Amino acid sequence: MTTRSSLLPMTGALLVGLAAFAYAKTNDASDTTSVGALPQQAVTIDPLSFAVIGENGTFRENSITSFFNPTNTSPPFFQVFDPAFLDILGPHATIRSVASNPDFAFAHEAPIWNPETDDFFFASNDGGALGFSDLNHNSKYGKINLKEVTKAIRDANASTSAVNVTVTELDLPETIQMTNGGTGPYHGNLLLITSGRGPRPPSIALVNPNPPHNVTVLLDNFFGRQFNSLNDIKVHPTNGKFFFTDVTYGFLNQFRPAPLMPSQVYRFDPTAGSVRVVADGMLRPNGIAFTGDGNTAYVKVTKDLAFIFGVVGGVFGNNQTNPATIYQFDVDLTTHTFVNRRVFAYTDTGIPDGIQVDTKGNVYSGCGDGVQVWNSQGILIGKFFLGTTSSNMAFAGKGRLVINAETNIFLAEIAAEGLDLASFT
């Protein structure tokens, strides 16, 4: 694969920045001691090199099936658009598949790392391709053990080779239907949010990560009305309230009834039991995350209301002119509402889905070609380029990013550290 080289000679401001990393000394793939040496699987791409393609050039016409990979590098690898991404990666970053099943989208959403056991939990695709879940069949919730991953990598004795560890499915009670989001651990439990199935309501629930996986449902209605199909959830880092999104994906994928309410963002107080809307008018909100101080929220939006669906429109097809956008909000810490909405990022491939934030304020989102990363100003600085869709990801302690990619799980061993999603008041 292409390594340690840029697409074109570095120019302008990027050249100045990259010069500090001594690129001229890192062209030799055997050189791992030079200051700022690129990771083995990293490729740098100067944004100025593709700012003008020209009338005789080749332009992308489909953001769903066509990826931006001008170096034609074989995935998985790291695309570096800005030297700041190298701080995220570190000089010895690697990325590889660690669990795979080409016939089953077992790794879709609800990623949660449990530090006590070093298990990584995830949900299968609910209603989508290769998910094998529909109106008559529930989705699956599973886990891999990262200690087993470490051993498998060591036994493989190769720096970036794929391994394939065992996926263990959890036998969850019937109250958990179509798991689509999750975070935590929350007081030792998995905090799951479900889309519901048929007449069974969407819900927020605590699930014991250990057998018999007993469940406590915390919320399943808004003043007597079922939600549409709950999607993603985060705990606010300072006030401990739950913030979650409700969309109509279950209806679009034909396993939930017609919607009864708009697609909205909600806040739930698990102590008082109160629930309220904190943001609306955002088409269809999906992934959600907060900065470490809790003052800023990110919400991913992809689908229009009425009969004009977003980029990925379920059974109704795709429309590239509709949102594939992450919005940024200020969080009013008195009312807990989301205010001052503005565009944070528009993804170049597919749609953004799950969102995570690292300790430096960089924003990660699963997209059509892998995981894309923006700095706090909304500039795309790099990608974990998989060549396939990633719906979600989560940090598993310092230096490990575990990526759900439908039929694969990837492990990126990097320098960055995610926010402690189990730390709250």
Q: Please say whether the beta carbons of 381 and 85 come within 8 A.
A: yes
Spatial neighbors of 51 by CB under 8 A, at least 6 apart, are none
Structural domain contains residue 7? no
- Which of 42, 60, 89 represents a domain boundary (last residue)? 89
Spatial neighbors of 319 by CB under 8 A, at least 6 apart, are 308, 309, 310, 311, 313
- Cα first-last separation, the chain: 47
- Tell which residue, 224, 152, 233, 157, has the closest CA to residue 190: 233
Structural domain contains residue 232? yes
Structural domain contains residue 322? yes
Do 112 and 16 fall within a single domain? no
Integer Cα distance of 156 and 164 in angstroms: 11
Do 84 and 103 fall within a single domain? no
Do 165 and 34 fall within a single domain? no
- CA distances in angstroms from 218 to 205, 210, 227, 323, listed in the order given: 5, 19, 14, 32
Do 315 and 361 fall within a single domain? yes
- Tell which residue, 303, 301, 212, has the closest CA to residue 252: 303
Do 19 and 144 fall within a single domain? no
Do 366 and 409 fall within a single domain? yes
pTM of structure: 0.89
User: In the prediction, which pLDDT does 64 show?
Assistant: 85
Q: What is the DSSP string of 247-310?
A: ESHHHHTTSSPPPSS--EEEEE-TTT--EEEEE--SSSEEEEEE-TTSSEEEEEE---STT---
Exposed e or buried b for every residue in 98-111, given b needs 16+ CB within 10 A? bbbbeebbbbbbbb
Structural domain contains residue 363? yes
Please name the helix (run of DSSP H) or strand (run of DSSP E) that holds residue 147, with its range, or none.
Answer: helix 146-156
Number of domains, the chain: 2
Q: Is the dihedral of CA 206, 207, 208, 213 positive or negative?
A: positive
Structural domain contains residue 56? no
Do 362 and 258 fall within a single domain? yes
Bridge partners of 408, per DSSP, are 100, 405
Do 367 and 406 fall within a single domain? yes
Do 104 and 83 fall within a single domain? no
Backbone angles phi, psi at 49, to 5 degrees: -70, -20
20: containing domain: 12-51+69-89
Do 207 and 331 fall within a single domain? yes
- Tell which residue, 215, 167, 220, 218, has the closest CA to residue 197: 220
Do 217 and 344 fall within a single domain? yes
Q: What is the CATH number of the domain that holds 313?
A: 2.120.10.30
Q: Please say whether the beta carbons of 191 and 204 come within 8 A.
A: yes
Structural domain contains residue 62? no
Do 40 and 173 fall within a single domain? no
Structural domain contains residue 58? no
Integer Cα distance of 348 and 142 in angstroms: 31
Backbone angles phi, psi at 52, to 5 degrees: -125, 120
Tokens of 422: 């189990």
Structural domain contains residue 313? yes
pLDDT tens by residue, the chain, 425 residues: 444 434 333 333 333 344 333 333 333 333 333 335 799 999 999 999 999 999 999 999 888 889 999 999 999 999 999 999 999 999 999 999 999 999 999 999 999 999 999 999 999 999 988 999 999 999 999 999 999 999 999 999 888 999 999 999 999 999 999 999 999 999 999 999 999 999 999 999 999 999 999 999 999 999 999 999 999 999 999 999 999 999 999 999 999 999 999 999 999 999 999 999 999 988 789 999 999 999 999 999 874 333 333 444 444 456 777 778 999 999 998 999 999 999 999 999 998 999 999 999 999 999 999 999 999 999 999 999 999 999 999 999 999 999 999 999 999 999 999 999 986 65
* Maximum distance among all Cα pairs of the chain, rounded to whole angstroms: 65
User: In the prediction, which pLDDT does 317 show?
Assistant: 54
